[in-house]
């Protein structure tokens, strides 16, 4: 063991960073980032954070109701109530920490509307709220004397022992082994398990896979959200998002004939929840025999569009689209995970000492479909909850001696077969997209399990390719097991 910490936090999105800020200085923390600190799904979040800050024109009850409706009433009510009632104080706290939210002339936070919300309650920083939050939190975390940051570090195994864990990391070709009494997984989503996703390159489900191998309960992993308006690029797996807020500000969705169609499928039209709009696009695609769809906000003043959505404006320009003059080509793609590592209201998993927060966790908040801009709020509320619960346990039980270190296998080995991850992505994209194909489940599941058996049977070289391929295989196998067993 190179060093023992009280807590190891794996992941540096909003959940991991905010958790670190909620520990007292007496708690010794290792914060691990697979790549650079700034790379996370959180930093890509555009729209904002949903929270009730104005109880005159809005209410907790309305926010809870909107969340339940979007989630098809499959949400865990107690988790939603915790999210909605505790979230506003966390939003105000990160504002006080220096996160730059857009403000009105009177100093109050600007609030916009997004699909599924009955009130304007989305606070934001233009169209790059996630980046503003992550950058603001990084600035504070890197000043903390009790936090050791380990970036560009690949976690390749987590071993459970008496009173804690041993975390094995590869960094700059060096093997490192750290001990801890408590481990918080904040590793984000699974987007890179799909062929096309809005997620960052590191979203490969690693934390979920490690938790699964440790025996933690994984729940509702098949509840995957497909965003209806990702930019329909001609190349690349990562599709940048055209935020829900664009529709909230009046953009309309058009088919290949330039016709609005969303209201033909739901009375809420473009502002229906994401799954409803995605389904509408796919059904309209079948009807028109075309995958050409567009968002149109050209009827709004050009200065307003550029000032409200500067990042989207610039990013679209790079693709040759001026959103003040041109329609934006869009199509659904994988965006978010509602299921994950099952946790209770204290962010505890079913494995003693193991916690999870953010997109990799399953709090039950989102039900069958996440309401827009509830994700960053969940990351804040439940990561703070994890930090407070771990701190209580450290105060109660002290720093306990870890059990014996495991025998570590060599990282050297055979070269992993080429194409495993690509095959997994193709299988999921084909069989389990917006409109699933149940007739393909059995064969798809068989193929995934064969790939997984191959990846774990041989002693391959441990590197990022192997770790991420194994994670993808585990995630895909759980998804197919769930949908075939009907456990969702």
Q: Rounded to an integer, what distance in angstroms lies between the CA atom of residue 365 and that of residue 387? A: 19
Active site residue 217: no
**How far apart, in whole angstroms, are the C-alpha atoms of residue 394 and residue 293?**
54
Structure tokens at 351: 């494995």
Paired strand residues for 171: 174
Joined together, the tokens standing for residue 80 give 């939603």
Distances (CA, A) of 199 to 219, 311, 333: 21, 16, 10
Instruction: Specify the 3-state DSSP secondary structure of 473.
Output: helix
Nearest-angstrom CA–CA distance, 11 and 199: 14
Distance CA 191, CA 212 (A): 18
In angstroms, the CA 141 to CA 136 distance is 9
Q: Note the maximum CA span of the chain.
A: 68
Residues 222 and 327: beta-carbon distance below 8 Å: no
Q: Are 310 and 244 in contact (CB under 8 A)?
A: no
Tokens 């059995």 locate to 442
User: Cβ contacts of residue 272 below 8 Å, gap of 6+?
Assistant: 115, 116, 262, 265, 266, 280
The number of residues making up the chain comes to 488
The beta strand positions in 288-436, using DSSP E, are: 293-296, 328-337, 340-342, 354-356, 361-362
* Catalytic option among 192, 223, 237, 274: 274
Bridge partner residues of 176 (DSSP)? 169
Residues known to be catalytic: 274
């Amino acid at each position: 063991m190179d060093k023992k910490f009280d807590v190891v936090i794996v992941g540096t999105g909003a959940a991991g960073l905010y958790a670190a800020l909620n520990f007292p200085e007496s708690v010794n923390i290792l914060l691990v980032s697979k790549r650079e600190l700034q790379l996370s799904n959180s930093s890509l979040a555009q729209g904002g954070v949903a929270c009730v800050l104005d109880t005159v024109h809005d209410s907790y009850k309305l926010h809870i109701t909107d969340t339940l409706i979007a989630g098809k009433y499959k949400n865990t009510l107690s988790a939603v109530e915790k999210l909605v009632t505790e979230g506003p104080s966390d939003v105000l706290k990160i504002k006080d920490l220096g996160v730059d939210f857009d403000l009105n002339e009177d100093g109050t936070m600007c609030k916009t509307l997004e699909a599924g919300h009955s009130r304007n309650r989305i606070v934001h920083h233009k169209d790059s709220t996630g980046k503003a939050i992550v950058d603001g939190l990084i600035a504070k975390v890197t000043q903390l004397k009790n936090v050791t940051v380990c970036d560009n570090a690949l976690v390749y195994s987590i071993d459970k022992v008496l009173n804690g864990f041993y975390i094995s990391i590869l960094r700059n070709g060096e093997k490192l082994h750290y001990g801890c009494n408590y481990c918080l997984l904040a590793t984000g989503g699974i987007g890179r398990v799909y062929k096309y996703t809005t997620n960052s390159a590191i979203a490969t489900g690693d934390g979920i896979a490690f938790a699964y191998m440790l025996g933690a309960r994984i729940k509702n992993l098949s509840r995957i959200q497909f965003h209806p308006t990702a930019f329909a690029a001609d190349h690349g797996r990562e599709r940048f998002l055209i935020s829900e807020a664009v529709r909230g500000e009046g953009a309309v969705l058009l088919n290949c004939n330039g016709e609005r169609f969303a209201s033909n499928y739901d009375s809420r039209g473009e502002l229906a929840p994401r799954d409803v709009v995605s389904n509408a696009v796919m059904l309209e695609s079948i009807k028109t025999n075309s995958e050409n769809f567009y968002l149109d906000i050209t009827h709004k003043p050009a200065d307003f569009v550029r000032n409200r959505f500067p990042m989207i404006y610039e990013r679209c320009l790079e693709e040759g689209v001026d959103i003040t003059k041109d329609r934006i080509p869009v199509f659904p793609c994988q965006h978010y995970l509602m299921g994950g590592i099952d946790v209770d209201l204290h962010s505890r998993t079913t494995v003693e000492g193991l916690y999870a927060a953010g997109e990799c966790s399953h709090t039950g908040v989102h039900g069958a479909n996440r309401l827009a801009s509830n994700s960053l709020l969940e990351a804040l509320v439940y990561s703070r909850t994890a930090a407070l619960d771990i701190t209580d346990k450290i105060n109660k039980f002290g720093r306990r001696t870890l059990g014996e270190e495991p025998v570590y296998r060599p990282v050297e080995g055979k070269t992993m077969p080429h194409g495993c991850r690509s095959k997994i992505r193709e299988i999921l994209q084909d069989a389990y997209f917006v409109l699933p194909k149940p007739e393909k489940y059995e064969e798809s599941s068989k193929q995934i399990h064969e790939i997984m058996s191959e990846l774990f049977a041989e002693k391959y070289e441990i590197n990022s390719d192997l770790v991420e391929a194994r994670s993808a295989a585990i995630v895909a196998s759980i998804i197919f097991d769930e949908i075939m067993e009907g456990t969702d």
